[in-house]
Amino acid sequence: MSKVNEITVNVDEFLGLDKYEVDEDSVHIELVDDPDTEEFLKLVRVCPAALYKIDESGAKSFDSAGCLECGTCRIACGSTIIKKWENPQPTMGVEYRFG
């Protein structure tokens, strides 16, 4: 029987290597007004960049500035609460760097 080595990965450390060019004039993801809480909770759980948050009072927040452009939110919720999802304009969005 072989023993599997455990590897711990600090995702925040790797995300910190990435560079973001935020297009302040044209966000690439927009949510519907007053998104359904259950649908929003899906995004809180699955977004790898943790862009979707619900605070203690139940207020929902979303910031597309650190988006990894992975499309997980589109897959998880489709058009239920995602009003717009498109790739950022050229030279905008995430630039992946590896350390």
Domains of the chain (ranges; CATH) run 25-95 (3.30.70.20)
User: For the chain, first and last CA: distance in Å?
Assistant: 34
pLDDT at residue 46 greater than cutoff 90: yes
Closest-CA residue to 55 (of 40, 72, 73):
40
Name the pTM for this structure.
0.74
Higher pLDDT, 11 or 67: 67
What percent of the chain is modeled with pLDDT above 90? 37
Reported as a single tens digit per residue, the pLDDT across 52-75 is 999 999 999 998 888 888 889 999
Instruction: Name the H helices within the chain.
Output: 11-15, 37-46, 72-77
**Which tokens is 86 given?**
């498109």
Task: Round to whole Å and give the CA distance between 74 and 20.
Answer: 20
Closest-CA residue to 83 (of 41, 15, 34):
34
